[in-house]
Every structure is written in structure tokens, then in C-alpha cells.
A and B are shown apart, each in its own frame.
Chain A
Amino acid sequence: MSIQPLKGVWWKKVDASEKLWLGIALVWCLILFAMMPLWHLKGGQNPSFETYRTTAEQYMKKVDALVAKRKVGEEKGMPVVAPDPKEDVYMLGRLWQWSPVLKLKKGETYRLHLSSLDLVHGFSIFPLNLNFMVLPGYDYVLTVTPTTTGEFYVVCNEFCGIGHHQMVGKILVE
């Protein structure tokens, strides 16, 4: 009974049926654990750990330089940038926009930098469902290879003030 003190020795041998479940549960836990390092070795989707310190000014300069070099048009007042594959691509989050609009090629690999000029934002490629955190002061580099074509959107999925739901960017993949 669970609300009465235990008297005598309660450190008893474990019953066979309990032992069976304990063993199987432990094995399952080890499988759960093994999946993560295994996916780093064999899987195609792993969170990056390429991170640099930055500041709003430094990061803004890099974004501006990319836009100046690779701008191919505008969409709703937002510069559209078509970077070269293997190139460093910069996207910034700020209240309440993601910019610039990116034009990428399917099957090519890009170094996508993410940072915020103000608050914490959530970088979510919609409706693909690929999510990363964007923190001010951190330049987070994801090495990305789009495997599908179409229009994708970047939704902010971390609350960043009253205009949070308006913060939508765009990525085109050809």
C-alpha cells in the first residue's frame, strides 16, 4: 500500500514479468539514444553547429553586400536575390520581416546564414516544416540543399511582439 510506511526489508528480487519489461524498455531507450548519432553519420538532416558571434551592424553589412551583388528583382518592395550555389547567403530577421527574398536552385548547396537584428525569432520554412532558432548576436550557418521546387515561405514561429504574425518572407526554388 502506497501510503503506509514500509516495514522490514523491501529490497526484494524483481519479479520475472517486471524484469522482462525493464529489459525491453532499457533496450528501447538505447535504440532511442543511438538514433541521433547514427543520423549524424548517415542521415541528411542534422542541426548545424557552425555559429559565429556577430552584431546587428556587421550582419546588416553582409546582407546589404549580398543584395548589391546578386539582386535580380523586387517582389512587393522586397529585394529578390539569386545567389550562386556554394555561396554564402544571408537572411535577416527583424521586426517584422524576413529579407531578402531568396531564389535558389534545386539540388544545389548553399551556406545560409541566419541572424536577427533585434529580438529572438523563429525561422520556419512553410509549409515544408523546417525550423531553426534565430538569435540576435549569433550568426547561424545552415548548409542547405533544397530537394523540392516551388514557392516556400519563411514564417516567424517565435513570438516577437505584436506584429509577429505579419513576419513572413519567401524562398523560391527552381
Chain B
Amino acid sequence: MAAIFRTCAHTGLKVHNQAERLIKVHAVAGVLSILFGGIAAVLVLLTRWPAVHLLDPVNYYRALTFHGMNMLIFWIIFFEIAILYFAAPIILGSRVAWPRVGWVGFGLMVAGSLLIDVAILQGRADVMFTSYVPLRAASHFYLGWILFAVGALIGVCNFLATLVVAKTERTYEGSIPLVTFGAASAAIIAVVTLAHGAIIYIPTWLWSLGIVQNIDPGMYRLVWWGLGHSSQQINVTAMVAVWYLLATLTVGAIPVNEKVCRTAFLLYILFINLASAHHLLVDPQLSPAWKIWNTSYGMYLAVLASMIHGMTVPASVEVAQRRKGLSKGLFEWLAKAPWGNPGFAALVLSLTLFGFMGGITGVTFGAEQVNIISHNTLRIPGHFHSTVVAGTTLAFMGLTYFVVPLIWRRAIVWPRLATFQVYAFGLGIMIFAAGMTTAGSYAVPRRHWDVQFTSSIFQPPIEPAAHFFLGIMGIGGLLAALGGALYVGLTVVSVFFGKRIPDVAGAVPLAAVPQDTGRHTPISGTLVLVFVFLGAFVIYYFLNWKWLSNIWLIK
């Protein structure tokens, strides 16, 4: 079967029709997942907001399990596989290595996600996203995980095989582009992650069938987090690749030194998965030495990588803007950036919220001892809603406003609403996560139906301040839900009813990369910003050690 290509009029990229179709189906599955997960999100939110306390306990825990699976796994991984079908075949102008295998992978992912969603809705898998043994779900829940993981692994292998095809068929010259390099890093991390998924879910599935008798809960937690946390590291890595992509599409970004950017991706591959230990810091079964080495990603070298990207991405924007002549003072380049472009707004919000909120809280709560005052409180979901939602999801939303015009070749129906969507979602999640994290510092537990403890034998008094912050969480969450609903609505309506975009250069506005003037372009504005970030980091980090020192002595 000969591959059929078209040439994109807007980017000049060669597009294999199979790559395009695979991107479309994975993106559609992703958007459906965020719709399902989003409905559950609102139900969960309105239950955890004590002033509303909507659902009964059974439905609350069910909705929470459903929310976690559809958001953290289905939405993000479907979208990531779509990105992989863009990052190798389309960017490199190659054919997809194994189109039919790609469809098999997609089919497995759909089958797996359906099995899981059905199991949860049947009420036979009220076990949360983590399904810690010996808590038991129906066996089709575990089978669903296995099918989904194998399907995703096939998508990842197809990406890696396409890299080989592109290289041997010489569809490009030189080194692969930075975005592809970042996607490849995410793919390698994904292989490790999905392997953990297989290692833990195959025995657990057999256990649910009665074939395996006993699974040690400590061992389960250790291996499971090799899947659970590492899958979030795929998100981080894919998100950073999308940052570079959005920066290119919206301002024609120029990385200052690609050696630095690529080395940072390499640090992710080598170290980031150690952070699975973040979840095991107050567990009985592991030694302090093990905890310290792993929770620190081997001396924080993956944090170093994020701090590098946090500088190189804005620096690439600054260089491009300054070369366009916006070089007055420290921040003209930023002030006159395309703030009305949803892709650019998503980039800035994603990067800022990921760094200032998600990154700082994650590293702080991931310190072995500070985890004593964070573990399983609302501080934890507060942290990861800043990384996975404000960071990854927002970046993917911004990218969608390019996927629809470039891949579906349909215009976004209300472009100004798209911009509003990005700001509403970003601001909403920021308020939500701030409220949630702060409520957590009053020991409010996560995954808990009733913080007023009305039906338990003792009624611990809850601090009025914690109530207040749960209210903040509720208000921010509603704004984010509005943003999320607009995202799904805009995407679906544009795909079906958006104006067809003619294949003429310039019909989709993309930023041009400014000419190299040959002169040195300063990145002083970026440096100021990263030092502000470092200041916030230092303050928050040591404040937490101060708070830790106020609790009881323990060893």
C-alpha cells in the first residue's frame, strides 16, 4: 500500500494521510474522555465543597474514581499518542511506520477505556485510580488497564519505528527537530511507565480471578507508582515539547542553545521516573536512604531539567520577539506578545502555573520529611491539579486550536471565545488549586466524602479557615469547569461546523521565525523572571520546613 501524502499549505509540512487520520481519532477519544471526566469533576467538586455537599458517599467515591481514570489516564494519553503521530510522521515528513498496527493500538485503548468506565459505572470498581490491593475490583477493571496500556505501548512503538523509517528513508537532513526530540523523550519514559503497568496489573488481574492468592500491599504500591507517577512524567515531558511547539507557532520562537534544551530532556529520561517515590515517603516498607535518593530524582537532576526548560522556553520567545524589534527595556518583548492568541495564552499560563504552583509544591511535598505534613491531604491533589491540569491540560488545549485548523482544516468557530476559554480555565484552575492546597495544609484529607465527619463516632472540629479555602476551591473549580466545557464545545462545533480552510498559504496565521541578525540577543527579561521564580521557590520550601518543625517529634 503506497502512502498518500499532501503538502500543508500553511506549514509546508508533508502530511501522510494515515498520520492525519490517527491523530484525528486519538484526539476525538481524548476530547470525549475530558468530557466524561469533566462531568465527574463537577460532581466531585460540588461534593467536596462543604456548602453544597451534593452526592451521597457511594456516588461520590464512584465519581471520583471515574474522574481520575478519564482525566489522568484516558484524556491525556489519547492526546499524547495523537501528539506522537504528529511529532514523528508529520514533522519529519515521513510515512507512519505501521498504519494498521496503529489502528490496532487505538482499538485496544478504546476497548480498555470502555471496560474500565463500564466497570466503574456498574459499581464494580469503587477502588479509586490507584486500586490499592487488597481492595478489590471486578476483573474487567484490571483487564481494561492492561488493554489500554498495551494499546498505548503500541502507539509509542509506532512512533519509535517511524523515527527509524524517517531516518532510513532520509525524509529529513540533520538532527531531528527539538519538538520531535522532546516527544521521543516522552515516548521513552512512556515505555518504562507502561512496562510497570503490565508488571503490576497482570498479577493483580490474575488475583482478581482467584489464580494468584496474595499480592503484598507494599510491593503493589512500589510497582504501581512506577506506573501512576511515571505516567505523569510522560505528561510533563510531552507538555514541555508542546511548549516549544506553541512558542514556535505563536511567536516563531528561537531556542538560545539547543544543546541545553536537549540535555534537559535527557535528564528527564534518566532521572524523572525515580520520583515515583514521592508517594511512598511515609510508607513502612522502604528505608530512608531509598526514599531520599529516589524522591530527589537522584539529587534533583530532573528538577534541574524543569528549571532549565522554565528558562529556555521563555528565552526562546524573548529572542524571537527582540529580533522582531521589540527590544525596549526588560519586558517590551513580553508586553507586546500575542496575548490574544489562545495558543500563546495557553503557553504562558501553562508554564507559569506549572512552575510556580505545581513545580514548587511538588518538590516541597516530595521532600522526605515535609511529606509527613502533606501526604494524602488535599495538598497533594492541589499540587497535581497545578501540574497535570494547569500545566499539561492547558498546554494541550492551546495546541488544539492549531490541530483543528491544520489537521481538520476547519476554522475555530469563535476565535475570541477560544481565547476567553484559555484564560477562564487557567484562572479557574489557579484559584481552585490554591484553595485546595491551602485547605490541605489544615490536614483536610483527600479522597474523603465528609470533612465535617457527621457520620463518624468522633467529630473532629474543622478550622474555619479550612472551610474558607474549600469555598475558594469550589469557586475556582466552577470557573475551570466553565472553561473546560467551552473547550469541549468549541472543539466539537469547530470540527463539525467550522468554515473549511482553503489550502492557501497564510489562511492559518502562523508566526514567522525572525531572521538571525548575527548579533547577540540578550535574554535579560527571562533572567529576571526566573530569579523571581527561584525566590518564590526558596521561600515556600523553607516555610514548609518551619511548619514541619512545629509538629510533634517523631522518628
Q: Say whether, besides A15-B256, A168-B453, A147 and B552 are in contact (CB < 8 Å).
A: yes
Contact at B61–A162, with CB atoms within 8 Å? yes
Give CA–CA (A144, B551) in the complex, Å. 11
B4 at the binding interface (Cβ < 8 Å): no
Interface-forming stretch among A22-30, A64-72, A83-91?
A22-30
Contact at A3–B554, with CB atoms within 8 Å? no
User: 9 smallest A-B Cβ distances: which pairs?
Assistant: A29-B300, A157-B445, A140-B284, A153-B460, A129-B443, A7-B174, A145-B553, A157-B376, A168-B456
Closest to B284 in A: A140
Contact at A129–B551, with CB atoms within 8 Å? yes
Contact at A146–B552, with CB atoms within 8 Å? yes
Give CA–CA (A35, B42) in the complex, Å. 39
B residues whose Cβ falls under 8 Å from a Cβ of A: 11, 13, 57-58, 61, 91-92, 126-128, 132-135, 172-180, 216-218, 221, 244-245, 247-248, 252-260, 280-288, 291-292, 295-296, 299-301, 303-304, 307-308, 311-312, 315-316, 363, 367-369, 371-377, 441-443, 445-450, 453, 455-463, 513, 522-524, 527, 530, 534, 537-538, 541, 545, 548-549, 551-555
Contact at B287–A164, with CB atoms within 8 Å? no
A1 to chain B, nearest CB (A): 5
Which residues of chain A are within 8 angstroms of B217 by Cβ–Cβ distance? 120, 135-138
Q: List 10 A-B contacts (CB under 8 A).
A: A10-B258, A11-B259, A118-B134, A129-B443, A131-B443, A134-B284, A135-B221, A155-B445, A165-B57, A166-B457
Contact at A32–B303, with CB atoms within 8 Å? yes
Closest to B286 in A: A49
A46 at the binding interface (Cβ < 8 Å): yes
Which residues of chain B are within 8 angstroms of A49 by Cβ–Cβ distance? 286-288
A residues whose Cβ falls under 8 Å from a Cβ of B: 1-8, 10-12, 14-15, 17-18, 20-22, 24-26, 28-30, 32-33, 35-37, 39-40, 43-49, 51, 76-78, 97, 109, 114, 118-120, 122, 124-140, 142-148, 153, 155-170
Give CA–CA (A29, B133) in the complex, Å. 35
Give CA–CA (A132, B443) in the complex, Å. 12
Contact at A1–B248, with CB atoms within 8 Å? yes
Closest to A136 in B: B217
Give CA–CA (A86, B522) in the complex, Å. 63
A25 to chain B, nearest CB (A): 4
**Of A4, A14, A29, the contact of B177 (CB 8 Å cutoff):** A4
A170 to chain B, nearest CB (A): 5
Which residues of chain B are within 8 angstroms of A156 by Cβ–Cβ distance? 445
Contact at A45–B460, with CB atoms within 8 Å? no
Which residues of chain B are within 8 angstroms of A146 by Cβ–Cβ distance? 552
Give CA–CA (A109, B217) in the complex, Å. 29
Contact at B134–A18, with CB atoms within 8 Å? no
Contact at A46–B443, with CB atoms within 8 Å? no
**Of A25, A124, A143, the contact of B555 (CB 8 Å cutoff):** A143
Contact at B373–A46, with CB atoms within 8 Å? no
Contact at A127–B135, with CB atoms within 8 Å? no
Contact at B446–A157, with CB atoms within 8 Å? yes
Which residues of chain A are within 8 angstroms of B555 by Cβ–Cβ distance? 44-46, 48, 142-143
Contact at B296–A129, with CB atoms within 8 Å? no
Closest to B291 in A: A47
Q: Say whether, besides A138-B218, A166-B456, A29 and B445 are in contact (CB < 8 Å).
A: no
Number of A-B contacts (CB under 8 A): 311
B296 to chain A, nearest CB (A): 5
Give CA–CA (A36, B462) in the complex, Å. 31
Which residues of chain B are within 8 angstroms of A15 by Cβ–Cβ distance? 256-257, 523
Contact at A45–B443, with CB atoms within 8 Å? no
Closest to B252 in A: A1
Contact at B292–A17, with CB atoms within 8 Å? no
Contact at A18–B373, with CB atoms within 8 Å? no
Give CA–CA (A23, B64) in the complex, Å. 42
B245 to chain A, nearest CB (A): 6
Contact at B134–A29, with CB atoms within 8 Å? no
Contact at A122–B445, with CB atoms within 8 Å? yes
Closest to A96 in B: B456
Contact at B553–A47, with CB atoms within 8 Å? no
B15 to chain A, nearest CB (A): 13
Contact at A6–B260, with CB atoms within 8 Å? no
Contact at B282–A133, with CB atoms within 8 Å? yes
A31 to chain B, nearest CB (A): 9
Closest to A134 in B: B284
Which residues of chain B are within 8 angstroms of A48 by Cβ–Cβ distance? 554-555
**Of A3, A33, A120, A147, the contact of B132 (CB 8 Å cutoff):** A120
Give CA–CA (A158, B244) in the complex, Å. 38
Contact at B173–A32, with CB atoms within 8 Å? no
**Of A25, A30, A139, A159, the contact of B308 (CB 8 Å cutoff):** A25
Give CA–CA (A76, B371) in the complex, Å. 32
Which residues of chain B are within 8 angstroms of A109 by Cβ–Cβ distance? 553
Q: Say whether, besides A1-B254, A157-B447, A17 and B524 are in contact (CB < 8 Å).
A: yes
Give CA–CA (A157, B459) in the complex, Å. 15
Contact at B448–A157, with CB atoms within 8 Å? yes
A164 to chain B, nearest CB (A): 7
Which residues of chain A are within 8 angstroms of B248 by Cβ–Cβ distance? 1-3
Give CA–CA (A21, B312) in the complex, Å. 10
Which residues of chain A are within 8 angstroms of B179 by Cβ–Cβ distance? 2-3
Contact at B178–A47, with CB atoms within 8 Å? no
Give CA–CA (A164, B458) in the complex, Å. 14
Contact at A169–B458, with CB atoms within 8 Å? yes
**Of B260, B374, B458, the contact of A76 (CB 8 Å cutoff):** B458
A39 to chain B, nearest CB (A): 5
Most buried by B among A40, A44, A155, A159: A159
Give CA–CA (A17, B459) in the complex, Å. 56
Which residues of chain A are within 8 angstroms of B368 by Cβ–Cβ distance? 36, 39, 46-47
Closest to B279 in A: A133
Contact at A6–B258, with CB atoms within 8 Å? yes
Which residues of chain A are within 8 angstroms of B537 by Cβ–Cβ distance? 28
Contact at A119–B132, with CB atoms within 8 Å? yes
B66 to chain A, nearest CB (A): 14
Give CA–CA (A157, B132) in the complex, Å. 13
Q: Say whether, besides A1-B254, A130-B372, A164 and B448 are in contact (CB < 8 Å).
A: yes
Closest to B443 in A: A129
Give CA–CA (A118, B13) in the complex, Å. 58
Which residues of chain B are within 8 angstroms of A77 by Cβ–Cβ distance? 457
Give CA–CA (A139, B285) in the complex, Å. 10
Contact at B254–A32, with CB atoms within 8 Å? no
Contact at B530–A21, with CB atoms within 8 Å? yes
B310 to chain A, nearest CB (A): 9
